[in-house]
Amino acid sequence: SVYGSENALPTTSIILPLKPEKVEALKGQLFQLQPELVLFLSKIKRICMRGNELGNKAPDNVSMVSVSSEQHHVVRREISAESYVVRLSVVESMSDAAETCDYYMWRQTFPVKPENRVHSRMEAEKWTVSLAFPLGKRLTMGASSIGVFAFLPASMLTNFPFAIHSDFILASSQEAVLLDNKWNVGMLECVSSAFVNAFLSFLREELPCPVHEAYKFVPVKPFKPSPFPELNKVRQSIKELLKNSMRDLHRKTLFCKPNEAIRILPKFQSLLVRLPLPLVRLDLFDKFILDSSLEHQRYRSVLEFLGIHSAGGSYDSYARCIKEWELAVLAFKDVYIDLLCFIADERKDAFRDVPVLKYINHDGKVEVCSIAQASGKIYKVRYGKDHEHHAWLNEINVEVGCPGCIFFLPGTIQQALVKHSRFHFLKQWLAKEARIPIIDGSGHLRTKRVATLVSASSGSKWMKLLGPNNPFVDHCYVDLGEIYTESSQFSGQYIPEKQLLNFISKYSEASDLDGLPPPDAPLRVASSKLTCDQAFLLLDWIRKARARDPCFPEMFVTSVRCGKWLKAYSCFTSPSQSILPDAMGKIIFDMMRCFMEDIKMIDQEFYRNKIGLYGDELAFLGVTFGLPNIVKLILDRTRIRASSGMSKELACSLLLFVGYLKACNTLDEECLGAIRKGRWLRTSQGYSAPIESVLLQAEEEVESVLTMTNIPLVSESMVFPPRAAPMNKNSGLLILKCIRYAGLAACEKVRDQPWLKTLCGAKSPMESILADSRWICLLDGLDAPVIDEAFYGDDIRSFVDELRAIGVAVDLDSAIRRVASQLKFLGSSPCLISNDVMKLSDWHNSYGCCSS
């Protein structure tokens, strides 16, 4: 049960009886052991760790590290080295599958230098340095990869992509290597030589697939800087040795120093691989071209580490390569088309003078010319889309002697071109770089064109909209001439009417308005009155052009937006000054017509009630659509009119507009807020905003307020005239409401003015009393200015605080002080009559009762 269920027993078994508290500690230590340790143990090929608890028949934990037998063993006696490939396997628990990784092992011996000898190694004559290169993902078991091994792993992380093993002197077991020890320094100096020898040997070895193909170049992985300066010296030494390694020719593979190699664009390298070129140095790069299998993202940092530079954007070198090696002549069919794709993709001037365009000459043989020659007047290279038509044109062209230096592509190239996946792209590039001349409607030969228009004689849409003469000739918009519509004899064959026109239209991609891109020029016809059909043609043109490209030429759009070609009810107008409302919008437009005298409503009957089908296009051109946009337009006009004053008619229209929107439940807060704050309402003191104005319902209220204030605003600017008449009930209550909301500042303005109705006439608040039923009897018999509550009604009692604030006596003490002067006058009079004596006696008795 200790050994497990396997038939073959292990050679060595170690049984450790442990106390329960020690089990986890031992597991942790064993778990930290590096699986790569087995790579350097000559007597041990497998380590298996099992754990059993009392009472358990099966092991509760199994971990195993094993190394398979060596393969591809090679001995190199000239450098005292050997290499082989082993497979390392790790199983961390019984439930896990085995993880494996192949390692390329390298072991080399070096003589010990006298200056590096130490007392503890005095008898050693050789250093043995072993390197292990993982050909895949390195295997670890619960810890980071250790880079240095003595007899056990040293606690050093090198950041090297390989493991190093040698007889290093450590501070103690499994501690760091003593980097200042001269014995260790000598061995570290051997590591760089061992690495370079291992790398070159790995490249030369013909390892069987899949190991060699899958992990080619793996030994040189990115070198990150090490945390130890002494190991960084090893890193730099490896880099310098690799750069200066001698090149070697082994069978069909060419090796060179890294500083003699160059990287080129992968697209161009794929072309070179497919061409019959010798595997030698290309003089135009003055370097050896790096093998395409190494142009991979995984090797990018390695190549930069080795200092292998890229030709990058040195397109002059690529152009010289194409020219001097005559790549256009060597390339056939698909390879030639890919070469054109490479040149077209880069679009560099360096390729303009390189012979790359094949054509059939006067003798029927293939020649090449440059892009500059084809785009000028020297050569005119052409091709047809249909192979039979192209072959016929090619044959006829040679027969008549290639007039005007017009030549055609070879038939095989034409077939490869039209079948290529990037034919559409190449077609546009060839048309731009080597333009096909077209005879236009004026009878002139034009070699430059942006677009080709179908013939006007074919009943074209552009002729119906723009007229019989092409208005965009100066902008390289060429229309096909009527000469192509005539029948003729050509090369002994009769060509019926319009057959040549159809042929030219097809292969020059002539288009009508539907496929015509608008030019960056004003549309002259937009300044004239268009018929219904012409307007629809224009809107259709804009719709399809926007579907292809949302970005429109500015001059074209401006001319259409501002041109007066759109029919309104009263005249022709521009889209930017037009609206196309719905039923509610029409009502609002009629209601607010005085605001929008310059805005016109589109005559939908003129357009057979179909103009609404072009809503997106009309909105793009500036036509106002929908209720929200019409409301916004009216608000903008309101702000403009409010700045200079608004007439009574405009104000009434605006109020009707608000009332209509409110009745239709379409008055939003934004609209209402803008109207509230606009200074458009005429008041007695000029134009004001509605939220700052007061509307009084009764005329007597208006007159009363205007006699006591300068402006009809609820504010602190109330000013009474010198002689104010008593106000009616509503006016007085209105003043108290104003005081309630205007604050104390308004109180000072009305405190001394006689505007309150009392039993003694009009009095100021400072003279008046608001009597209480509990003590009003005290005032009987006195001429006290008690506010006439019968005049004001019960509402006057709701303004007690306001009356107190402006000086009215509203409690007993204030009322006594208010009538004290009258009582003193009666008591001091030398000629009291019996009636006055009775008043004093009654008042005294009443006050005594109220006081008690």
Q: Give pLDDT tens digits for 408-448.
A: 889 888 888 888 888 888 887 887 765 534 334 555 545 56
User: Rounded CA gap, 187 and 709, in Å?
Assistant: 108
Point out the least confidently predicted range of 20-29, 52-61, 63-72, 237-246.
52-61
**Tens digit of each residue's pLDDT (9 = 90 or more) over 203-233:** 776 555 444 443 444 444 546 777 888 888 8
Beta bridge partners of 48: 64
644, pLDDT greater than 70: no
109, pLDDT greater than 90: yes
What number of H helices and E strands is found in the chain? 29, 31
The angle formed by the CA atoms of residues 296, 73 and 158, to the nearest 5 degrees, is 55
| Residues above pLDDT 90, as percent of the chain | 5
Point out the least confidently predicted range of 311-325, 578-592, 660-674, 817-831.
817-831
Q: In this structure, which amino acid lies at residue 364?
A: G
pTM check: above 0.75: no
Point out the least confidently predicted range of 29-38, 119-128, 129-138, 707-716.
707-716
**Tens digit of each residue's pLDDT (9 = 90 or more) over 779-809:** 776 778 888 888 888 888 998 988 898 889 9
Torsion of CA 650, 654, 657, 662, to 10 degrees: -160
Antiparallel, parallel or unpaired: β 451-453 and 477-479: parallel
Rounded to an integer, the average pLDDT of 55-83 is 76
206, 342, 212, 320: which is closest to 274 by C-alpha?
A: 342
Q: What is the chain's mean pLDDT, rounded?
A: 75
Q: Token match 């009636």: residue? A: 835
Tell which wins on pLDDT, 147 or 278.
147
Q: Please, are residues 401 and 384 in contact by the beta-carbon 8 Å criterion?
A: no
111, pLDDT greater than 90: yes
Q: How far is residue 234 CA from its own chain's centroid?
A: 46
Start-to-end C-alpha separation, the chain: 116
389, pLDDT greater than 90: no
**Tens digit of each residue's pLDDT (9 = 90 or more) over 161-205:** 888 888 888 877 667 788 888 998 998 889 988 988 888 788 776
Peptide bond into 518 cis (omega under 30): no
Q: Evaluate the CA torsion angle 496, 497, 500, 503 in order and state its sign.
A: negative
Q: In this structure, which amino acid lies at residue 33?
A: L
326, 245, 256, 250: which is closest to 284 by C-alpha?
A: 326
